[in-house]
Amino acid sequence: MTEKFDQEQFDQMAAEWRYIMTDMICRAGSGHLGGALSLVEIVMTLYYRVMRTDPKNPRWDERDRLVLSKGHAAPVLYLALAYQNFFPTSWLKTLNADGTKLPSHADARFVPGVDMTTGSLGQGLSCACGAAYAARMDGKKHRVFCIIGDGESNEGQNWEAAMFAGHHKLDNLVAITDYNKLQIDDFTEKLLTLEPLCDKWRSFGWEVFETDGHDWDAIYDTINAAIAVRGKPAMIIAHTIKAKGCCLVENKPESHNIKVPDQAAYDKFLNAMNTKATLPY
Amino acid sequence: MENTLHNKEMRFVYGETLNELIEQNPNVMCLEADLSKASGTNPTVSSKHPANFLNIGVAEANMISIGAGLASEGKIPFCASFTCFASRRVYDQITISVAYANMNVKIVGTAPGVTAGPNGGTHMCFQDLAIMRAMPNMTVLSPCDCYELRACLHWMAAHRGPVYMQLIRMKQPQVFDSTYRFAPCKAVHMRRGNDVTLVSTGYMTPFAMQAADELAKDGIAVDLLHCPSVKPFDAETLVASANRTGGVVTVENQNILGGLGGAVCEILSEQCPVPVKRLGVPDQFGEVATEAYLFEKHGFSVQHIKQACRDIAARRRK
Ligand SMILES: Cc1ncc(C[n+]2csc(CCOP(=O)(O)OP(=O)(O)O)c2C)c(N)n1
């Protein structure tokens, strides 16, 4: 966590992350671009303004935890961890390469700072519930954050976790739904209705907030309000845009898992980035 | 059209064949869980037969039990997802709603084993053949090319009972042609020889053929059995071959525990004990990597298959 917030600097860093992530995925030849780009402001706010962590001691017992349940968005988490010095930025270019420490889905076995291995959708919120329950049992003060996808919310296990957290009043748990309105095959409302999403969570005993997931102040204030909730778990429904910043596929289903078979495709994606940046590797 | 299937991606043939089956029997249905483009049924099936196409959402357990409910009313659902989510994630739903209840549900696991490549360790499933074999009432298939895939699908739609099938998504080398007829519980003799028996299924069969052909040039005659049906397994052909050669090598795109190699060892230990070498993944999880890297790391490349055949041919029971 770095306390100082300078909007211009954050805007620039967000643009940089988007460019680097797209480069990483393009180098790998394919990858989940859209759902990583939609989370940049949220993940950056968590790591730079909210979460207590110690890059020198990634397993520090008092750190705040983050479960990225939509594990396919791992590149955005890897960027946050690299920029926070959990590991060298040179690792970033090895995404998905043979023998890499940075696999396509968030992997706590190989990546310093990743708190939970994910990739099979629907499991992360239950893991976060377990971690939050344990923290409370042990009288520990850290918070557990969990990011789930809107498509991921189709999985019934989320609602089992929702019931558990509501029943046990896990107020050290803050979940965020990356509500970018898209999953793989279609827009979420066309495939399987989620609405009224806020009411669903409320009815499971959660305090529910809504925010613009790309507005720095709104995200920050909402997360703090969610942390302040007592006697209930909190859910933040963050309205986001899938593939934000890559005009070629922004808000399109094709952004989910892009294929980059050759140099021409690579150029096409990087040229489509609204802002360019220098690569840190 | 039928003779050019091998120029197409396997998943495309999956979608096209489902269309044929739906046209023959309107009770056939295509169920998906937000991976319909990956399975090759969207838009192939979704646009041609929207009434028979049902996208459940990212909810595989729901898909399997909905499939069982549809089957209880006479529908024939083909339920697809990545192998990991179509098998291990929904194992209890398959066990109770489908296999125990003996419902006519067809389960299709896409991107088996190393072919899950860039999706990495969380998605790379090496255990689906083993866990599906251990399921009473279940038939377990792993076709190796487009012609065999199409034949398996026609058989599945006609057969009453639960079936699990692996679906390789990309283009595959041509092994058979449009005259191929699938027979359950029948191994296909790909090469004949008396020096060593080599048993393969699904994705590994073209590699096994290459190994056998290269060994033939070195004077080692391989008896190559391709087993599209891992369960029921063609014990008769296997035992006859092992009796002639005196040694067996198995190769699969799976953990060597409990899958093809397991099936072969179970049969041979009771009916024809001979030296066996199982190739595949030695009880480890997958990882994000290229196929070449994984073959090398786990020891089941063409070179490894050849070496194992040489070793077994030298050790075999004379
Ligand atoms: C259990 C499971 N089923 C299927 C998948 C394949 N899959 C990966 S991402 C995805 C869609 C997720 O949609 P969403 O949560 O909205 O993610 P986003 O659009 O934000 O990337 C699916 C079906 C998976 N990883 N896990």
The residues pairing with A209 across neighbouring beta strands, listed in sequence order, are: A236
Q: Does B210 touch chain A (CB under 8 A)?
A: no
Of A105, A107, A156, the CB nearest to B59: A156
* Token pair 């460019």: residue: A19
Domain ranges of chain A: 7-271
Domain A7-271, architecture per CATH: 3-Layer(aba) Sandwich (3.40)
ipTM over 0.90: yes
Amino acid A3: pLDDT? 62
Question: What dihedral do alpha carbons B308, B309, B312, B318 form, nearest 10°?
Answer: 180
Confidence of residue B204 (pLDDT cuts 50, 70, 90): very high
Please report the sign of the dihedral spanned by the C-alpha atoms of residue B3, residue B8, residue B11, residue B17: negative
Query: How does residue B3 score in pLDDT terms, banded at 50, 70 and 90?
Result: confident
Identify which of B135, B53, B140 has the alpha carbon closest to the alpha carbon of residue B98.
Answer: B135
Contacts of A28 in chain B (CB under 8 A): 118
Contact state of A105 with B121 under an 8 Å Cβ cutoff: yes
The overall pTM is greater than 0.90:
yes
Which residues of chain A have a CB within 8 Å of the CB of B288? 96, 100, 103-104
Q: Do B34 and A96 touch (CB under 8 A)?
A: no
CB contact (8 A) between residue B85 and residue A184: no
B317 pLDDT more than 80: no
Q: What is the mean pLDDT of residues B6-24?
A: 97
Residue A179 and residue A153 in contact, taking contact as beta carbons nearer than 8 Å? no
Q: Is B265 on the interface with A (CB under 8 A)?
A: no
Asked if B66 and B55 count as a contact pair (C-beta separation under 8 A), the reply is no
**Ligand 1 atom closest to A149 (CA):** 15
Q: In the numeric block, which tokens belong to residue A261?
A: 């078979």
Which residues lie closer than 8 Å to B29 by C-beta, 6 or more apart?
Answer: B22, B52, B53, B54, B70, B75, B76, B77, B78
Distance A45 CA to ligand 1 centre (A): 23
Across the interface, of B58, B61, B119, the residue whose CB is closest to A151 is B58
What are chain B's domains? 7-167 (3.40.50.970), 188-317 (3.40.50.920)
Q: Residues with beta carbon inside 6 Å of ligand 1? A: A 34-35, 38, 70, 72, 119-122, 149-152, 178, 180, 182-184, 242, 256; B 34-35, 58, 60, 85, 89
Alpha-carbon gap, residue B12 to B10, rounded angstroms: 5
Mean pLDDT, chain B, as a whole number?
A: 97
| Alpha-carbon gap, residue A128 to A134, rounded angstroms | 10
**Residue bearing the CA closest to ligand 1, atom 17:** A149
- Tell me the two tokens of residue A265: 């495709």
Omega cis (within 30) before A112 = no
Name the residue with tokens 């029971």. B317
Chain A touched by B61 (CB under 8 Å): yes
Q: What is the pLDDT of residue B318?
A: 59
Task: List, as own/partner pairs, every contact residues B298-306 make where C-beta atoms lie below 8 angstroms and the sequence separation is at least 24, other chains included.
Answer: B300/B204, B300/B251, B300/B252, B301/B207, B302/B207, B302/B210, B302/B211, B302/B214, B304/B279, B305/B198, B305/B207, B305/B208, B305/B211, B305/B249, B305/B251, B305/B279, B306/B211, B306/B214, B306/B215
Q: How far apart are CA A58 and CA A115, in angstroms?
A: 9
Query: What span, in angstroms and rounded, lies between the C-alpha atoms of B154 and B34?
Result: 24
Inter-chain contact A105–B120, Cβ cutoff 8 Å? yes
> Quick one: pLDDT at residue A4?
83
Mean pLDDT for each consecutive 10-residue tract of chain A (281 residues)? 85 97 98 98 98 98 98 98 98 97 97 98 98 98 98 98 98 98 98 98 98 98 98 98 97 98 97 94 94
The two three-digit tokens of residue A44, written as one number: 């950056």
Q: Within a 13 Å sphere around the CA of A218, how many CA atoms are in the beta-carbon half?
A: 13
Percent of all residues in chain B with a pLDDT value above 90, rounded to a whole number: 97
Q: Closest approach of chain B CAs to the CA of A220, in angstroms?
A: 30
Cβ atoms of B256 and B240 within 8 Å: the answer is no
Q: For residue B13, is pLDDT > 90?
A: yes
Examine the pLDDT at B307 and tell me if it is beyond 60: yes
Q: Are strands B188-191 and B222-226 parallel, antiparallel or unpaired?
A: antiparallel
Write out chain B residues lying below 8 Å of A124, CB-based: none
